[in-house]
Amino acid sequence: MKSKTGMYSLIASIVSSIVIVAVFFALALLKNSSMAIPLYTNVDIMAGMIFVFILSMIVSASIWPGIIEKRLK
């Protein structure tokens, strides 16, 4: 059961982080396209996506294991 909890929490963390990165990417593109002169370059957006992914993995890796353990019991 312990190994399944770890696997499920890893998958949940990765999926939730990818969703958050996709929202960040969509909002960054929306903001960039609404301006006459783009505020951000593609490198800025990609670096921001990496930063958001790392931060969201840290947060979700601390939240998901507790949620999954409660659901499996």
pLDDT (tens digit, 9 = 90+) per residue, 5-40? 888 899 999 999 999 999 999 999 999 988 888 888
- pTM for the full model? 0.85
* pLDDT of amino acid 36: 87
Tokens of 24: 């960040």
Rounded alpha-carbon distances, angstroms, from residue 42 to 9, 29, 47, 49, 61: 31, 9, 9, 11, 28
The pLDDT-based confidence of 72 (bands split at 50, 70, 90) is: confident
pLDDT over threshold 60, residue 1: no
* pLDDT of amino acid 24: 97
